Amino acid sequence: QSALTQPRSVSGSPGQSVTISCTGTSSDVGAYNYVSWYQQHPGKAPKLMIYDVNKRPSGVPDRFSGSKSGNTASLTISGLQAEDEADYYCCSHVGSYRVIFGGGTKVTVL
């Protein structure tokens, strides 16, 4: 099973919105509403930002939102802030109790 496809990098100015795509197949992203997103700052463990496609855990700012269309899930960061600069990974259930991660996207705040 190949990793989910994410853009290597996206960038935006403070206050702008950026969207990260996560493309899979009809066997993973397209088949289940079990897509999650993780934020990872350098040298730190990942942090859960979105689960079940569009749900936010307690404590995650509402500037982070998730969606899905067909085989592609997306994470949108609205009102970009300096602390949002990090790597972001999507993750999807692929059946048989397994999950797969995306290749990661580096978000740069200009």
- Residues at the contact surface with other proteins, assessed by CB under 8 A: 1, 3, 34, 36, 38, 45-48, 51-52, 57, 89, 91-93, 96-104
Compare residues 76 and 100 and give the one whose CB is closer to other proteins.
Answer: 100
Least distance to other proteins, CB of residue 15, Å: 29
Q: Round to whole Å and give the CA distance between 53 and 10.
A: 20
Least distance to other proteins, CB of residue 45, Å: 4
Least distance to other proteins, CB of residue 84, Å: 19
Q: Round to whole Å and give the CA distance between 63 and 110.
A: 18
CB contact at 8 A, 106 and 90:
no
Among 109, 18, 19, 9, smallest CA distance to 72 is for 19
Contacts of 68 (CB under 8 A, 6+ apart): 29, 33, 35, 53, 54, 74
Compare residues 52 and 79 and give the one whose CB is closer to other proteins.
Answer: 52
Compare residues 43 and 82 and give the one whose CB is closer to other proteins.
Answer: 43
Least distance to other proteins, CB of residue 32, Å: 8
3-state secondary structure of 34: coil
Compare residues 13 and 45 and give the one whose CB is closer to other proteins.
Answer: 45
